[in-house]
Structure 1
């Protein structure tokens, strides 16, 4: 069996041809309702089922996760840490998939909610929602994290006085070429763009330093089309999605469509959008809606623009993060408030989903990653 561990990273858009063998899944959670921390599962693709392997103790809400590109290490934010925030590193045992804690560092801000790792594996980017800042941390050769070498404090307010009262940095997404990082601030309605020096673990504003969306939209998560020409932004507060074209040389974004509606036409309740992913073929885009409890499904045109295909009920309450497996055959949806992960088979021609009937119990799941060996 090929021993190369192929990793699939949620939020960064990295995909690879999965090798035959066991596929393992890692689930980050909030420290609620008896959650132990990070949960490890083995996925049986033929049966479409998840079997538990390990629960890793972490009482500080290890909510969002990221892989090292070599597949040997896993990183988690500790969203429930003190006002200086926190992030942890773990070694992955390739034989068993189990995790071993390595070390932790401050994220220099409260409520860290998102982490990403650059393609060289030398730098991690941590978004502090509560602190309204971005921290840049070097990654050592042994996978351990060093103290932050750079940080950016955002400032500002927005028209939504309850949610945009101060800066809330929500995610940092690396460009496909690893030269830029795009930082979404829910409050300022901007995607801030930075040049990345991964070797030195430093950033600086790009020549075009930001892109803006409609005031009150609330930027959250961001993803790139596999062709690198287009990018898509969750607008959390308006339950919409924005579409951009991207200049590969400068990293600049041009808004093509804004406030594209994602909710079912007949939905009238309260909702906020959460996560966004594109299937490996680049033909379909999915966005999760908390309140409507659906995944919005869009077809992606050759011009990058979106056409609504449908809405899939997610069979749970408050769908946050979700995973499209590297072969594009399954979608796994994590439900924060119903303590379950539901599994759907995916029609790769139409983009539509069919619930398999499989629902896995996990307390307050927030993030799902998958590896294969």
Structure 2
């Protein structure tokens, strides 16, 4: 009886712990219209609302964020740092409250850093310099601080769009599900460069198949993998389209399945650029944000990885940049750079369609939305 009672009590205690885990959200912004820097919110899943916890002062446009796999640290690129060299900052996360404390900063070795990612071991950060057309590889120390860059790659080349592709523009670096490769999207040269990673040394080298190319003038921006690891999807910013690839897990090589899959309705005639791309946790639906049309495009993903358009969801704001599908697949949060708000949508897990909850949170020039659980 006592043993049974103790098992029951342990069960109750674990349930209470699970329920008390707060869902914390981090918002990266541009330093415009009074933005203080990085904003921290708590998400209440029952009411579907976000409550402000903290704003962290950073006047250098901490636009894109990444959370360390341990959940103890957060990293931001500082896109508005000195014109020649951008920066990247490290923060500790208070696991009880979700609040941030500045740790240290390092150079990104290039101008206009716009994306940061961290490998699954938590030992290496990859920083994409849009302005500089380069990728910097920085070691992460045991205390979460960033070391000086141990490796970097400078892209060279141009594309047919002389205004946007006058030189290389590295836009993102995405880790493969197996953590063996990093895929670097370069908007300026219409390439996805593929690198082998040595996470212990924080070094990279070109993979045996070193890149995949897309239709000239497409403008590769962000990249995401299907949960099964077999397929991958690329935002083509300038053609408002998506490219679909299959992936060889041994070599990391990509094979094009579909290129320039259109995301906009046929009757849309305005100006538009695509921004972000995410797949729901079940791997059944893909979403892509469109700036100008101001909507998320929704695709169903077939067993062969190919896409069928389901519809478009207006995002209730202007210039939707990054967006977040919460880890349970129930909600979608959209950051609007030009209307200074984040809008919240409920997601139908069967159809993939979205319903606006009516909840809109004011944040100046939001760019990036992340979620973490605190304990």
How does the TM-score come out when normalised to structure 1?
0.95
Cα displacement (A) at 1:265: 2.5
What is the rounded CA distance, in whole Å, between the counterparts of 1:249 and 1:211 in structure 2?
A: 16
2:270 alignment counterpart: 269
Tell me what 1:201 maps to: 202
Q: Deviations 1:267-301 (Å, cap 9, x if unpaired)?
A: 11000000000000000000000000000000000
Cα distance in 1, alignment partners of residues 146 and 114 from structure 2: 17
Partner residue in 2 for 1:15: none
Gaps of 5+ in 1: 6-17
Partner residue in 1 for 2:357: 356
Query: What CA deviation, in whole Å up to 9, does each residue of 1:65-104 have, x standing for no partner?
Result: 0000000000000000111110000000011110000000
Q: Aligned equivalents of 2:218 and 2:208: distance in 1?
A: 24
Q: Residues of 1 paired with 2:105 and 2:14: CA distance?
A: 32
- Give the aligned partner of residue 71 of structure 2: 71
* Counterpart position of 2:51: 51
Instruction: Measure, in 2, the Cα distance between the counterparts of 1:2 and 1:43.
Output: 21
**1:44-71: CA deviations, max 9, x gaps?**
0000000000000000000000000000
Structure 1 CA distance for aligned equivalents of residues 263 and 218 of structure 2:
13
Give the C-alpha shift of residue 21 in structure 1. Answer: 2.7
Aligned equivalents of 1:127 and 1:235: distance in 2?
17
Distance 1:84 1:91 in 2: 24
1:316 aligns with 2:301: no
Match of 2:261 in 1: 260
Task: Give the length in aligned residue pairs.
Answer: 360
**Using a 3 Å threshold, how does the CA distance of structure 1 residues 259 and 105 change in structure 2: closer, same or farther?**
same
1:114-144 per-position Cα deviation (integer Å, ceiling 9, x unaligned): 0000000000000000000000000000000
2-structure distance, mates of 1:51, 1:148: 36
Tell me the residue number matched to 2:21. Answer: 21
Give the distance between the partners of 1:276 and 1:104, measured in 2 at CA: 28
CA deviation after TM superposition for structure 1 residue 20, in Å: 5.7
Counterpart Cα distance in 2 of 1:311 and 1:80: 33
Aligned to 1:110: 111
Query: Offset of 1:372 from its aligned partner?
Result: 1.5
Mapped partners of 1:104, 1:19: distance in 2: 35
Secondary structure, counterpart of 1:161 in structure 2 = coil
8 Å contact from structure 1 (residues 115, 172) kept in 2: yes
- 1:138 maps onto 2:139 in alignment: yes
Are 1:29 and 1:62, in contact at CA under 8 Å, matched by a contact in 2?
Answer: yes
Aligned to 2:8: none
Going from structure 1 to structure 2, the CA distance change for 1:88 and 1:2 (only over 3 Å counts) comes to farther
Whole-Å separation in 1 of the counterparts to 2:267 and 2:363: 30
The residue aligned with 1:230 is: 231
1:278/1:106 Cα in 2 relative to 1: closer, same or farther (>3 Å)?
Answer: same
2:349 matched to 1:367?
no
Structure 1 segments (4+ residues) deviating >3 Å: none
Pair 52,229 (structure 1): closer, same or farther in 2 beyond 3 Å: same
Q: How far apart are the structure 1 equivalents of 2:185 and 2:150?
A: 20
Structure 1 Cα separation of the partners of residues 193 and 282 of structure 2: 28
- Between stretches 265-274 and 222-231, larger displacement belongs to 265-274
Aligned equivalent of 2:193: 192
2:60 aligns with 60
- Which of the two has greater helix per residue? 2
Higher mean C-alpha deviation, range 257-266 or range 204-213:
257-266
Query: For residues 230 and 342 of structure 1, what CA distance do their matches in structure 2 show?
Result: 29
Larger Rg over CA atoms: 2
Tell me the CA shift for residue 19 of structure 1: 6.8
Structure 2 stretches lacking a partner, 5+ long = 1-12
Between the aligned partners of 1:351 and 1:19, the Cα distance in structure 2 is 27
SS of corresponding position for 1:164 = coil
Contact 1:19–1:372 (CA under 8 A) maintained in structure 2: no
For 1:346 and 1:19, the matched residues in 2 are separated by 22
